[in-house]
Amino acid sequence: MKTYRIAILGCRGRGTAAARAYHAHPRTEIVGLCDLIHERYNALGKELNVSARFTDLDEMIRQTSPDIVAIPTATELHYDLCMRVLEHGVHIEVEKPMCVDLVEADAVIAKAEDKGVQVAVHHQGRVGAAMQAIANAYNAGKIGNLRYIYGSGKGYYGGYGLMNIGTHMLNNMLHFGRSCKSVVAHLTTGGKPITPEDVVPSPSGMGTIAGEYITATMQFEDNVTGTLLQHRFGKMDTNAYTMELFGTEGRLFWKLGGAYYLPTPHYLPDGNNDKWESLALIYPDHYNPKSSADEMDYWFVEDYVNALDEGRPHVCSGDEGRHVIEMMMGIFESAAYGKRVDLPQTDRTHPLLRWREESGLPSPAEMPRGYGEWLNLEKKRIS
Ligand SMILES: NC(=O)c1ccc[n+]([C@@H]2O[C@H](COP(=O)([O-])OP(=O)(O)OC[C@H]3O[C@@H](n4cnc5c(N)ncnc54)[C@H](O)[C@@H]3O)[C@@H](O)[C@H]2O)c1
């Protein structure tokens, strides 16, 4: 069985998490680390005993001949770095969200197709132990036919929450809804429907956003609808980051590290309720929970290995990552123009920038990158 050669481009938080998973997996070997900052690749290199360390990504790829290059860097760099790495004809995985708009995502997919390689997007929740348990129960028919999917963020400012956390949740929903045909969304800022003045740069370099509160409805396949809430809470609440599947015969509930099943479609307050049951989480046989690798990142690696072995796309493929961006851009467009947006959209430019330009406003002014500072400034603007 082939051992896949992995190079890590970016050695901070997410690069460290990815590297630990590739290091722990028996079928992958880290052959190179790259960062612009020596301390970062040295710390990771020391931890994982990788001596091939670089500041230049092209040099790393030329010298180490990887099969896969992981690109866990800030979102605004994804497009440029993906294009540069793909030029070498290697498979990639890139952190979420894949890119900041559809023009970029289309170009990355086209480049990968041209080079005959794969793109995977690091939506690890889609393949993690809790989702494996939910998917197993769902495939076993435990909730009958799916009617409706509900998902929520954890309380970030809506537009930022959509790009940052909604990207995971929409990808989770796609597991069951398969593809999204259209979206309808309502976005408010300061309690009023958004206006072109409410189009602002995202914190953390995630492109252009709008909406303090986002309420979106997606039309999936087979008459299934989904609702996504990305509402700003006064205080962040990770427990709100959940997904629920409503079926004709029961319900399934996903949260980070937990999977639950309710054997009735409705929870009625008549004292005759069944209780939510905890489902056993599912891990790869060779996963060692004592290793430093997070189980979701490990599952992500496991699926990449299996995908390449089998010649199929990763479950979190570039196509899925791009479809998630179609949904997110569709949500912005629906609220801006007050209409249903059918997917895939033909105009691939960022709908909020288009909307603002059409209204005669210049590009949004720069804002701080850090979320805390960004939010303070935005709260002042709204009030
Ligand atoms: N999947 C998840 O659960 C999850 C969680 C948090 C963040 N993210 C995503 O991860 C990304 C951010 O990851 P991070 O916080 O580790 O990023 P970061 O910006 O803190 O670190 C990126 C590293 O890449 C290096 N780098 C940047 N350009 C480079 C270049 N040209 N050559 C070599 N090195 C380069 C930087 O020096 C830095 O050390 C974002 O896209 C974010 O949305 C994902």
Nearest Cα to Cα of residue 206 among 264, 262, 166, 150 = 166
Rounded to an integer, the average pLDDT of 103-121 is 98
If asked whether residues 197 and 153 sit together in one domain, one would say yes
94: CA distance to ligand 1 center in Å?
A: 10
What is the best residue among 35, 59, 73 to mutate for testing ligand 1's pocket, by most ligand atoms within 8 Å of CB? Answer: 73
pLDDT at res. 267: 74
If asked whether residues 116 and 252 sit together in one domain, one would say no
pLDDT at res. 272: 55
Distance separating alpha carbons of residues 375 and 373, to the nearest angstrom: 5
pLDDT 10s digits, 366-381? 999 999 999 999 999 9
Which tokens go with 242? 């959940």
CATH number at residue 365: 3.30.360.10
CB of 168 closer than 6 angstroms to any ligand 1 atom: no
Rounded to an integer, the average pLDDT of 137-149 is 97
If asked whether residues 204 and 161 sit together in one domain, one would say yes
Cα torsion through 105, 109, 115, 120, rounded to 10: 90
pLDDT at res. 274: 64
Rounded to an integer, the average pLDDT of 167-193 is 98
pLDDT at res. 264: 87
CB of 126 closer than 6 angstroms to any ligand 1 atom: no
DSSP string, 259-271: EEEESSSS--SSS
75: CA distance to ligand 1 center in Å?
A: 7
Contacts of 269 (CB under 8 A, 6+ apart): none
CB of 169 closer than 6 angstroms to any ligand 1 atom: no
If asked whether residues 273 and 307 sit together in one domain, one would say no
Relative to the CA of 35, which ligand 1 atom is closest?
34
Single residue among 311, 343, 375 that ends a domain in this structure = 311
If asked whether residues 132 and 231 sit together in one domain, one would say yes
CATH number at residue 94: 3.40.50.720
If asked whether residues 57 and 25 sit together in one domain, one would say yes
What is the best residue among 95, 131, 298, 314 to mutate for testing ligand 1's pocket, by most ligand atoms within 8 Å of CB? Answer: 95
Single residue among 311, 335, 358 that ends a domain in this structure = 311
If asked whether residues 98 and 138 sit together in one domain, one would say no
pLDDT at res. 269: 73
pLDDT 10s digits, 318-364? 999 999 999 999 999 999 999 999 999 999 999 999 999 999 999 99
If asked whether residues 240 and 106 sit together in one domain, one would say no
4-9, strands of its sheet edge to edge: 53-54, 28-34, 4-9, 68-71, 91-94, 119-121
Q: What is the mean pLDDT of the chain?
A: 97
pLDDT at res. 314: 98
Rounded to an integer, the average pLDDT of 176-196 is 98
pLDDT at res. 359: 98
Q: Do 379 and 234 meet the contact criterion of CB atoms below 8 Å apart?
A: no
185: CA distance to ligand 1 center in Å?
A: 30
| pTM of the predicted protein model | 0.97
If asked whether residues 339 and 266 sit together in one domain, one would say yes
Q: What is the DSSP letter of 352?
A: H
Number of domains in the chain: 2
Distance separating alpha carbons of residues 262 and 249, to the nearest angstrom: 9
Which residue range forms the structural domain that includes residue 286? 124-296+312-383
Distance separating alpha carbons of residues 133 and 254, to the nearest angstrom: 9
pLDDT 10s digits, 7-22? 999 999 999 999 999 9
pLDDT at res. 266: 80
pLDDT 10s digits, 232-266? 999 999 999 999 999 999 999 999 999 999 988 88
What length does the chain have? 383
CB of 80 closer than 6 angstroms to any ligand 1 atom: no
If asked whether residues 222 and 103 sit together in one domain, one would say no
If asked whether residues 332 and 307 sit together in one domain, one would say no
Phi first, then psi: give them for residue 310, nearest 5 degrees.
Answer: -90, -5
What residue owns the CA closest to ligand 1's atom 23? Answer: 10
If asked whether residues 194 and 276 sit together in one domain, one would say yes
Distance separating alpha carbons of residues 76 and 374, to the nearest angstrom: 17
pLDDT 10s digits, 31-40? 999 999 999 9
What residue owns the CA closest to ligand 1's atom 19? Answer: 74
What residue owns the CA closest to ligand 1's atom 25? Answer: 10
Single residue among 262, 277, 311 that ends a domain in this structure = 311
